[in-house]
Structure formats: structure tokens, C-alpha cells
Structure 1
């Protein structure tokens, strides 16, 4: 599949500089691009790579297009334009409809005739799988689960009972949705498990990465909003609510009954304590520990910055002395007064 540069410009409303008849059939990085490839450049820090690229065309911000003499498409958001063109050049491959004979499907389950069920899948009673779905090999769908139209479950996905997954979602291999939440009551020297009676409800256009776990609610439900993007190895505890279009990077852990607003971003290894609320449009850099409510949109960070070990050890020791130092300064201030 190939497109003329003029066709891409028209389809995605981009300004064209150079040869309209240039043919594009693949995408690549600036360093690796060659004939037929289109790449992108987001800013001045990549100008040296831009100068040396062999791409047939490059997507550029208007601020830097004069510094490139080759074919270009101009966009206020080159990365987004690149993503749209990449999706056009590399459409998703859909599997043929049908149920593999090795799969076990309960007689009272409903599977739309256009859905695809691969090898060794187990589908329990009253599961409802809508049109265009793909269920990967080795997956498990528990009783009363509902899967919306055109949703894809990659190989070895586990969906526990009563889970609801919306339209056009992708759940990657190894993720576990609707598992029992971590709820226990203290009974003397032991812990008594509390029944987890809720479920997980996932909206439309959600992406969930490999080996991510989302626990079902204890009483109410665990809710994942529309357009949420969750990376690999994320844990979301029972009764968490995540607002629309929030993105969560790998190795993040979110404790129970926390509410996260819309359009938030949580970078890698962020930790969130239980029973707090985070407002819309709050963004957290990597390894930030969120211990209290966030009520003002913005960018938040926490942690000690990286430095050479000898210096870090000295500063860590001094950090322990801060309280004592504070008291000394306070006492001196009182004496001066």
C-alpha cells in the first residue's frame, strides 16, 4: 500500500512542501529512513538528525520547515500527524470469524457470528461477545462477562465473572481483569478475607497493557473510563475510578477506592495511596508518590534526584538531620526576637 504525498496532505489537512507525486509506503525514524519512508521531527533538538535523513518526506512543525530542503508535510503537531499516517499505512489485521474447535464454549453463551475465537479459549455461561470481537488463544471469560463490539483480547487474557468491557478496546496478553480485590479484616492475629462483590466496568476505546491487573470492587464497581490508556505491569485495586482519557505508564500501582480524574497522566512507577481524589488534568512524573488529594490541575513531582553515589550518601545523611537543624534555626530565631 502506498500513497502520494499530495494524497496524505489532503487526507490529513497538512500543508505540502516539495514534490506532490513523491510516493510513501512506510514509516521510519529519521536515522533509519530511506526511499519511500516518511518520518517526523518535533523540534530543534533533532535538527542534526533531520539534516542527515534519507527519508522521502518528513513531517515538520512550521517553525522549522525552512531549515529542511526536502519534501515535507507541515503540522502544528508532527507526532500526531505521524501517528495518523502510520495507522493508515499499517491497518490492523483482523482474524477470520469463527470458533476454533479446541475452545470450550458454554451452551448459554452468545458469540456474534462475526466474532473470532482462537484455540483453547474457555467461555463460561451467559458470556456475551459482540460483533467483530477477537478472542486470543488460551483466554478465559468468566460467567456473565460482556465484551463490546470490535474489542480484541490478545492471547492468554483472563476476564473474571461479570466484567463489562466496552467497544473498540484492546487487552494485551497476560492481563487479568476482575480478580479478587485485596480486602481483609483483622481477626485477632489473623486476617479474614472480605467477599469482593463488585465488578470491573471498562469503557470504550480503552487499551490495557500486558500483565496488568484490575481488581473487581468490594461492594461497588471498579470503573475505567472511555479512552483510558494503561501500560504493561500496572496494578489497579478494588473500587478505583479512572476518568476518561487518562494515561498510566508501566509499573504504576493505584490503591483501593481512589478516584483519578479525566485527562491525567501518571508516568512510570507512580504510587497512589488509597481513598484519595485526584482532579482532572493532573500530571505526575516518574516515581512520584501521591499521598493526599490533588485539587489543582498541574504537573507534580516527588523523590530525590539522581546524583553520584558519594554525594547522594552525604545528602541522604543530612536529610535525616533536617528536623534537628530546623529546631536549631527556630531557637536561634526566637533568641534574636
Structure 2
């Protein structure tokens, strides 16, 4: 009889999972904020409600904290991360910041593969968590270089773009969808009409879409997409092989290829949002909340307002939930910087006028 054992420290893995679980319990859940809408939202029999799931309050400051936690638990329980494993990711954004946090938490090295043009602020946040940054010249190089680094170092390429949709338990287990519905339970409309999210990996939209079907909720899922992203064109055409030569200016969402975690079949509607509209909406809602939010939140708000405007035009009540993905202090140098906006050739006045008109009258008239 042949017996083959594979050396593995179950004690170390158990301890690592326990550390991550304890961190989740300490940080608890994020808030669901109800936006104070104008008087047109409060007509008896036609109440309009807008909620923001505030993901900026996670320890690493963004929605990606949930994803990073799920990715690490998935890799640990699959035996892909063991004691001393170097974890590598292809990301220069919030996911890398959050993953660096969890790598530090369980005591393994972390390397983020990113383009050289990555903002110093993001590099600083990754390095502050103990991560190391490995630079490449072009965005399309990050995947292959990350895998090569993993091979060379005997490490693990954690691969958010492939693993996002499978690492999260979409049936529940305190995922973001389950959290939202639990927090809505005592609201006048506990089952919202729409959930609005952006797509970066596609993991969040996959989680919401699957959860809605599993729970048999009539809620529809709307995904907002940005310029230089192929998610919307691929959704419209059914061609998952589409690519884009450019990169999204709205950090955290939009991709130049259809990522493996993007599951278009669970999406009910997609809305394309111009970059100028995302930034205008980011600034607009920041002013009304009294705190700065990030660019992807602006994209979400533009989509949410479009759906509310549609309901108002039909004189129908509606409830919309979207995400406050991260705080705006990460973007002071770009989205809140008028010089940067001008350098990008973006005109914020037209979409700002649309937003102000909507806020005043309830009429959504974005034009062409």
C-alpha cells in the first residue's frame, strides 16, 4: 500500500483563519446611511428612498476590505497560503491596500504588481501595511508578471480578478448583500427595488445578483460602468472577448478586459456613466453628505439618481441601495483637484447642472 503525506502545518492555518475571523468580529459591520432627499421624495404614497452602504469604515477604508478578507480565507482553506508563503497580487488600488493588511495580520510577505504611474498615495498606503510594490511599464503586463513572481518566489498569486466571484459565499455568511438586507429589515420598504454597484473585478455584482436569486427577492441589480471599460459593451453584445486599449480613470471600477469574475447573467441593467459625470456626482454628493467620497461612489450615485428619476417620471415609489465605496481623501490629488480635471479635458459644468436640476425638481434630464 502506497501512502503519500504532504507536509502541512494545520496549526498555523487554523491560527491564521482565527486571526482573520477575530479581526472581522472586532470591526463588525458597516453602516447603511439613508440619504436626506429633497421634498419631492416624500409625497404620501410615492415615497422615494436612497441608501448608501458605507464601506469606507472598514479598517483599510474601502469596499475591497471584504474582498481581501474573502480571498485570504479562500486561499488559506485551499492550502494555497501556508506559513511563509509570499502573496502576490496584480493591483495598484484599494484591493492591494486591503490585502497588504491581511498579509501583515497573518505574518506573510505581500507584493503588489502595479504600473509605474501609480499614485504615490496608493504606494504609501500599501507600504504602510508592510507590502512591497513591484512596478511594470504597461497595465496589460500585471497579470503575467504577478504569476511569474509567484512562480519565482514559490508564492501564491491570489488573483482577485479570477477569484472574486468564487471566494465570497453568495448565499450569506455575512456577505455584503446579506448585510444590506438585514439592515433594511425595519425600513418602510425592506426589499429595495434596485441595487446599484460598479464593477471592477465583478465580484460584488456577482455576489448581489446571486444572493437576490437565491433569496427569491424581486430586487433588480443595476451595474454602472465607466469610460474605457469593456463591461458594458460586452454585456450589450454578449462578446466576452472585447478589450480596450485604455484604462479607467475612475479607480476601482472599469476594466480593459472582461474579467473572469464578471457574471453578466445575474445583472438586470447596465448604465454607462461618463467620467465627467462620475466626478461631478462625487463632488455633488460629498457636499450633501458633508464628507468627501471617492470617484466610484460618484458613478454609483449617477446611476442611482437615474433610476430614481425614472420612478419619479412614472409617479411611482422606489427604494434604491448603492455603495459608498471609499473616502475621498485618497483622491484629493485627482478628482477634487481642478487642475487635474482640466488636464484630463473633463468638463464638469454640464453634469453638475444635471445634478442640481434633479435635486431641485426631481426631473432627471442628462441629455445625450
Tell me if TM exceeds 0.5: no
Structure with the higher fraction of residues in helix conformation: 2
Q: Quickly name the TM-score band, shorter chain normalised.
A: under 0.3
Structure showing greater Rg? 1
Structure with the higher fraction of residues in strand conformation: 1
